[in-house]
């Protein structure tokens, strides 16, 4: 089966940088995704890493190390609107259109304070 570990809560100051870590155990690993969800809202896609290294999209960056089964989401220049839950999700499975799945972690609740 699959398992993911991420911190349950993180608090950071507006304008600062915060890193949310995710470790996973899975078979048939394809890649690691990150989703953001505001309270009462829909999860929205942030990033996807299939290969080792850092992917940058504006203030958000995501990193993956396949050998360490580890990734993180980096949020820079934090804004109050970044207060939300952040989920890492492992895409796993085997070749073939019908045999992959996306498994979500339990989420990290980020609180940005003034």
Residue 36 or 112 with smaller CB distance to another protein: 36
Is residue 51 near another protein by the rule CB under 8 A?
A: no
DSSP H helix total and E strand total for the chain = 0, 11
The piece of 18-26, 61-69, 75-83, 100-108 that touches another protein (CB under 8 A) is 100-108
**Is residue 45 close enough to count as binding another protein by CB under 8 A?**
yes
Task: Pick one of 5, 29, 48, 66: the residue that binds another protein (CB under 8 A).
Answer: 48
104 scored as a contact of another protein (CB under 8 A)? yes
For 1-4, the CB contacts below 8 A with 24+ separation are 1/26, 2/26, 2/27, 2/90, 2/92, 2/101, 2/103, 4/88, 4/89, 4/90, 4/103, 4/104, 4/105, 4/106
Q: In this chain, which of 63, 82, 105, 112 binds another protein, going by CB under 8 A?
A: 105
Q: Does 91 bind another protein (CB under 8 A)?
A: yes
- Rounded to 5 degrees, what angle do the CA atoms 12, 17, 22 make? 85
Task: Kindly list the residues in this chain that would bind another protein in the complex (CB under 8 A).
Answer: 31, 33, 41-45, 48, 50, 87, 89, 91, 97-98, 100-107
């Amino acid at each position: 089966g699959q398992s993911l570990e991420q911190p349950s809560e993180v608090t950071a100051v507006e304008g600062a940088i915060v890193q949310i870590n995710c470790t996973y155990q899975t078979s048939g690993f394809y890649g690691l995704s990150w989703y953001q969800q505001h309270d009462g809202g829909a999860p929205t896609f942030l990033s996807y890493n299939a290969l080792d290294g850092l992917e940058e999209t504006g203030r958000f960056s995501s990193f993956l190390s396949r050998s360490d089964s580890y990734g993180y989401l980096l949020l820079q220049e934090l804004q109050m609107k970044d207060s939300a839950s952040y989920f890492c999700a492992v895409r796993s499975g085997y070749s073939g259109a019908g045999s992959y799945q996306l498994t979500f972690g339990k989420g990290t609740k980020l609180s940005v304070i003034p």
